[in-house]
Structure 1
Amino acid sequence: MKLKILTLFPEIIQGFFQSSIMAKAVERGIIDYQVINFREYAADKHRTADSYPYGGGAGMVLKCEPIAAALDAISSSDQSAARRIVYPSPSGTQFTQAKALELSQMDELVFICGRYEGLDQRIIEEYVDDEISVGDYVLSSGEIGSLVIIDAVYRLLDGVINSESLLEESHEDGVLEYPHYTRPEEFRGRTVPPVLLSGHHEKIRKWRRKQGLKKTLRNRPDLLENRKLSKEDEKLLSEIEQEDDHGSD
């Protein structure tokens, strides 16, 4: 997959691609990336990338010309390639695991990192395919929002992470992931649940599923609303509710 990131602050982006799992994905050729400082495409002698908003108001707005020139310069010559231009924005649609999976099917993703009050609307209308919000809050850095999306997407590509690990993660089937434990068996009076030490794979599987459902019910009950549950999940949820009722007596 090709990743191209348009930013005023390349140094924020570079470290991410040079570290940990991403660095290995780049080394293996799974990821090819390019960081573009769109200030370099500004035509005036001061390399101006922002200006005051029409109609007044606080803050500055990123200008059309530098971003448009940068996007035109990196446009793909391969018209058959699946390509999307992404603008992370608090005004966008909610980012989900399903959206990450959709974007992971692309050959190329281009990210526009906003700053200040954001982009001139005409850039969004002319170029942007996906305006995406990573949460109901506001960031000062479009770079951070872009990296959130990139991190969720690239790890889904073949060869980046063990496929078995991906299947058991939170949000893959609408249920949050179960809790994990490792050595030592006892830490500050807290012990590893005995079932995980039993070696009984089926009991471990059911325990993990039940714990995932319990966490989802506690932290994200909305994920279970209007969701068709398996008979096993229905039974496990019934057990959880009975345990909660018993605990409240």
Structure 2
Amino acid sequence: MTDTSEHFRRATAHQRAAIDAALSYYTSDFLGGISEVPERLRAAMRYSLLAPGKRLRPILVLMAAEACGGNWKEAMPAACAVEMIHAYSLIHDDLPAMDDDRLRRGRPTCHIEFDEATAILAGDALIPLAFEVLATEVRPPEVAVACCRDLGRAAGSRALVGGQMDDLAAEGQGLSLEELERIHRRKTGALLQVSLRLGARIARASDEQLEALDRYGAALGLAFQITDDLLDCCGDRVELGKETGKDAAA
């Protein structure tokens, strides 16, 4: 682990603990009892959502809210919604039809721990839960609507899902720098970018603040993906908690 990563973990430890507690609530009491949600499905959702991690995206939501003059605690539902979308994307990304990964965050991936069908359904279930949390918990209603719209765009065919499709189509092909950056912006950058935007919306940020955070988020997303690719090439499997060399093999 780098000094920067360790510093980030220490600096955000309190917020990360609060995020984990909120994620646990949203997949337990908020979600309902055994009569409403099959226990195996809930277990798979929680297994992936509560797996150890940096919680970078939800922390960005909270930090953006604070940076724009808001209270980070009020942004917690939006932070959890973003992490649910991120967790679903990892579950599906790890499937044999996609990246076929067996290790994620130092543990067996969801489809290995459970089975492929359960993993697919767990990912499916996290998507509507994210939007239910936004619609139910974010106030006033017009801010909730804006957050749902922003997250829907970032998670859908124009961004995250479209970027994954582009990434699959590009396997084994040589890409130009522009093509590679486009995939990175859609597949990785969009969710980091919208994390900042949701936090800013919760804090009632100005249009100028939203635009500034959008620019920062786009640059951060590209830098994050470049770092991730370098770690995939040169990183340590045990330290990273996932298999390495997959991107180079593709």
Please report the TM-score for the alignment, with normalisation by the length of structure 2: 0.29
Q: Which has the higher contact order (CA 8 A, sep 6+)?
A: 2
Q: Which has the higher strand share?
A: 1
